[in-house]
Structure 1
Amino acid sequence: MKKILLNRHSIRLTKFDYSQGGHYFVTVCTYNRKCLFGNAVGGIMELNEWGKIAVECWNKIQERFPNVELDEYVVMPNHVHGIVRIVGATLVVAPCAVAQHESPGTVKRAGTRPAPTWDVPPQVGARPVTLGQIIAAFKSMVVHRCIDGVKQNKLPSFHEKIWQRNYYDHVIRNEKSLHQIRQYILDNPSQWETDPENV
């Protein structure tokens, strides 16, 4: 029997390469916006054990993905805001391409011409990591650490999901936007009472 999924559609930009270098503003929400990570009191975020795990896992993103840098972030009671910077592509070998002035099958002898110019620039490393893979890894790390905490009697058991299915992203396209988003993140705890995520 075929399942019908209502109201499920991609919230990503169509035809945008989320593995390309750049700054991305992401928001990851807890399941049903449940306040799991602590409380914002007097403009300061007071993290509980769950929140401390979320912070530790967010900071481990850079260890897991060497081509990722983390900028400002905040763990709020029921969501995480952060800026992720992908610093470059990470492909193991140069993609196979034909020189711009050559046709396939042309044989060149050494020393007869300079090296050809390739249509696709060579890159270094493994397959490019996407923003989706980075956020999925973060969410997974938090879930596994929380499960371990329950098994070790350090956290109360939980019977619901921790995270909502997806995440929100915004491609940061200029310095002005980057600075505005940084300030938004820094101000988030003091704005908790009026935050739309505070449900």
Structure 2
Amino acid sequence: MDNGKIEAPFRKQLRLKGYNYSQAGYYFVTICTLHRREILGHAVGGDAHIAPSVLLSEIGAITEKYIKNIDSKYENVYVDKYAIMPNHIHMIIELKDGAMWASPPTNTIIPKIIRTLKTLVTKEAGTSIFQKSYYDHIIRDEADYFTKWNYIDTNPAKWADDEYCEAVPHPMK
């Protein structure tokens, strides 16, 4: 602020620069709730009688409805695996050949899918519930795919140790 102007805060670029996000392949995506509030559900089970899972809240059920709709809304796009956790969502999204309908030079199928999902959930929930951006990982090979698939599959069982788990639980809406 030497010249009297306020500098905009640096925002880390989360997308891989120059990568075509309409390219066929698998993408691991994580979307967090605003302030990582645990409003999508709460973890249950994990003892000798009940397998660990997440009991979805009303907002979590709305979110799941729109995740399940992605396959029918977008041609050649499939949600291969997903988990809705109390304060975040993990998905493996597959783009098949022929999913390249994003008009160049944007090539933004994955960002468009995530933006639409967040918009629809927010509109139906009646309040903003997601952070501005999301995290993605381009799955590079079969071993990487199975690592991400297993991570999603076992996420409810490992909730207490999850990097997104809050130390102090928040009441669900």
TM over 0.5: yes
Q: Does the aligned pair in 2 maintain the 1:37–1:77 contact within 8 Å? A: yes
- CA deviations on 1:89-119 (whole Å, 9 max, x unpaired) are 456xxxxxxxxxxxxxxxxxxxxxxxxxxxx
The letter for the 1-side match of 2:12 is: H
Corresponding position of 2:41 = 38
User: 2:139 and 2:102 mapped to 1: Cα distance?
Assistant: 25
Give the CA deviation at 1:3.
6.9
The question of 1:65 aligning with 2:74 is answered yes
Amino acid at match of 2:9: L
Residue 181, structure 1, aligned to residue 144, structure 2: no
The equivalent residue for 2:162 is: 195
Give per-residue Cα distances to partners, 1:154-174, cap 9 Å, x unaligned: xxxx5xx31101000000011
Q: Is the 8 A contact 2:27 2:139 kept in 1?
A: yes
1:134 corresponds to 2:134:
no
Structure 1 residue aligned with 2:136? 169
Alpha carbon RMSD of aligned pairs, Å?
A: 1.9
Q: Does 1:52 align with 2:31?
A: no
Matched position secondary structure for 2:155: helix
> Residue 29 of structure 2 corresponds to which residue in structure 1?
26
- Tell me which stretches of 4 or more aligned residues in structure 1 moved more than 4 Å: none
The percentage of aligned residue pairs carrying the same residue is 35
Give the distance between the partners of 1:10 and 1:77, measured in 2 at CA: 26
Q: What is the correspondence of 1:4-153 to structure 2 with a 5 Å cutoff? A: 4-42=7-45, 43-90=52-99, 127=103, 129-147=108-126
Give the counterpart letter for 1:62 in structure 2: D
SS of the counterpart of 1:36? coil
CA distance in 2, matches of 1:67, 1:5: 39
Q: Matches of 1:146 and 1:63 in 2, distance apart?
A: 22
Using structure 1 for the length normalisation, give the TM-score: 0.72
Deviation of 1:51 after TM superposition, in Å, equals 0.6
* Unmatched segments (≥5 aa) in structure 2: 46-51, 167-173
Is the radius of gyration larger for structure 1 or structure 2? 1
Q: Which whole-Å CA distance do the structure 2 matches of 1:32 and 1:50 have between them? A: 16
Aligned residue pairs total 154
Q: Distance in 1 between matches of 2:145 and 2:28?
A: 9
Query: Quick one: structure 1 residues 133 and 3, their matched pair in 2 at CA, closer, same or farther if it must change by over 3 Å?
Result: farther
TM normalised by structure 2 equals 0.82
- Stretches of structure 1 lacking an aligned partner (at least 5 in a row): 92-124, 148-157
1:106 is matched with which residue? none
